[in-house]
Structure 1
Amino acid sequence: MMVTVIGLIRFGFSLIFGVMVSVLLAGIESTRKNMFIISFLCAFFLFIQFISWWTLGLDLTAKLYPLIIHLPMIVILSIYYKCPWHISAISVLTAYLCCQVPRWIGFLAGAALGSKIADHAFYVGAVFLAYFILEKYVVGSIRQLMVKSPKSCLLLGGVPLFYYIFDYVTTIYTDVLYNGAEWAVQFMPSTISVFYFVFVILYYIETQKQADFQRERDMLNTQFRQAQIELESLRKVHQNAAAYRHDMRHHLALLQGLASKGLTNEIKEYLQTAKSDMDSITPIRYCENETVNLIISSFASKAKQSEIILTVDVKLPDLLPFSDTELCSLLSNALENAIHACKNIEYKNKRYIKLRMYSKNNKLCIDIRNSYQTQPIFHQGLPVSKEQGHGYGTKSMAHIVEKHGGVYQFSFKDGLFVFQATV
Structure 2
Amino acid sequence: MTETIIAFSRYFIVLLFGTAVAVNFAGMKRTRKNCIAAGCLTVVLFISQVACLNAWGMELTVKLYPLLSHLPIAVFIVVYLKRPWMISLTSVFASFLCCQPPRWIGTALGEVFGSVSVNHVGYIAAAFLIYLFLRKYAMEPVRHMIERSTSSCLLFGAMPAFYYLCEYAFSVYTNFMYSGARVAVQFMPFLTSTFYFVFVLLYYTETQKQANIQREKDILDSQFKQAQKEFESLRQMQKTAASYRHDMRHHFALLQSMASKGNIEEIKKYFLTVQSDLDAITPVRFCENETVNLILSSFASKAKQSQIQLTVNAKLPASHPFSDTELCSLLSNALENAIHASEQIPDISMRIVDLRMFSKNNKLCIDIRNRYQNEPVFNHGLPVSNEEGHGFGTKSMAHIVEKHGGVFGFSVKDGWFIFQATT
TM-score normalized by structure 1? 0.61
1:209 aligned residue: 209
Unaligned ranges ≥5, structure 2: 259-263, 301-309, 335-354, 366-398, 411-422
Cα offsets for 1:334-374 (capped at 9, x unmatched): 8899x98843249xxx999xxxxxxxxxxxxxxxxxxxxxx
C-alpha separation in 1, matches of 2:291 and 2:51: 79
Q: Within 5 Å, which residues of 2 pair with 1:71-110?
A: 71-110=71-110
Q: Per-residue deviation at 1:291?
A: 8.7
| Counterparts in 2 of 1:198 and 1:150: CA distance versus 1, 3 Å | same
2:395 aligned residue: none
Contact 2:234 2:294 in 1 (8 A): no
Q: Per-residue deviation at 1:80?
A: 2.7
Q: Per-residue deviation at 1:48?
A: 0.4
Q: Per-residue deviation at 1:382?
A: 5.2
| Counterparts in 2 of 1:54 and 1:383: CA distance versus 1, 3 Å | same
Q: Residue 169 of structure 1 aligns to a residue in which SS?
A: helix
1:129 aligned residue: 129
For residue 386 of structure 1, the aligned residue among 400, 403, 407 is 407
Q: Per-residue deviation at 1:186?
A: 2.4
Task: Give the % identical residues.
Answer: 40
Contact 2:170 2:177 in 1 (8 A): yes
Q: Per-residue deviation at 1:103?
A: 0.6
C-alpha separation in 2, matches of 1:109 and 1:341: 78
TM-score normalized by structure 2? 0.61
For residue 328 of structure 2, the aligned residue among 310, 332, 340 is 332
C-alpha separation in 1, matches of 2:23 and 2:221: 41
Q: Residue 387 of structure 1 aligns to a residue in which SS?
A: strand
Deviates more, 1:39-48 or 1:218-227: 218-227
Q: Within 5 Å, which residues of 2 pair with 1:193-204?
A: 193-204=193-204
Q: Per-residue deviation at 1:111?
A: 1.4
Q: Report whether the alignment pairs 1:344 with 2:352.
A: no
Cα offsets for 1:175-221 (capped at 9, x unmatched): 22122233332222222222222222233223333444455555556
Unaligned ranges ≥5, structure 1: 257-270, 312-326, 353-377, 390-416, 418-423
| Counterparts in 2 of 1:135 and 1:293: CA distance versus 1, 3 Å | same
Contact 1:146 1:152 in 2 (8 A): yes
Deviates more, 1:71-80 or 1:225-234: 225-234
| Counterparts in 2 of 1:234 and 1:344: CA distance versus 1, 3 Å | farther
1:164 aligned residue: 164
Q: Residue 82 of structure 1 aligns to a residue in which SS?
A: coil
Q: Within 5 Å, which residues of 2 pair with 1:173-212?
A: 173-212=173-212
Number of aligned positions between the proteins:
325
Contact 2:285 2:293 in 1 (8 A): yes
Cα offsets for 1:239-286 (capped at 9, x unmatched): 9xx9xx99x99xx84999xxxxxxxxxxxxxx9xxx9xx989953599
C-alpha separation in 2, matches of 1:387 and 1:285: 26
2:313 aligned residue: 305
CA RMSD of aligned residues (A): 4.9
Q: Residue 71 of structure 2 aligns to a residue in which SS?
A: helix
Contact 2:170 2:176 in 1 (8 A): yes
Q: Residue 81 of structure 1 aligns to a residue in which SS?
A: coil
C-alpha separation in 2, matches of 1:32 and 1:94: 24
Q: Residue 141 of structure 1 aligns to a residue in which SS?
A: helix
Contact 2:226 2:329 in 1 (8 A): no
C-alpha separation in 1, matches of 2:142 and 2:171: 27
Contact 2:48 2:68 in 1 (8 A): yes
Q: Within 5 Å, which residues of 2 pair with 1:235-254?
A: 253=265
Contact 2:145 2:152 in 1 (8 A): yes
1:406 aligned residue: none
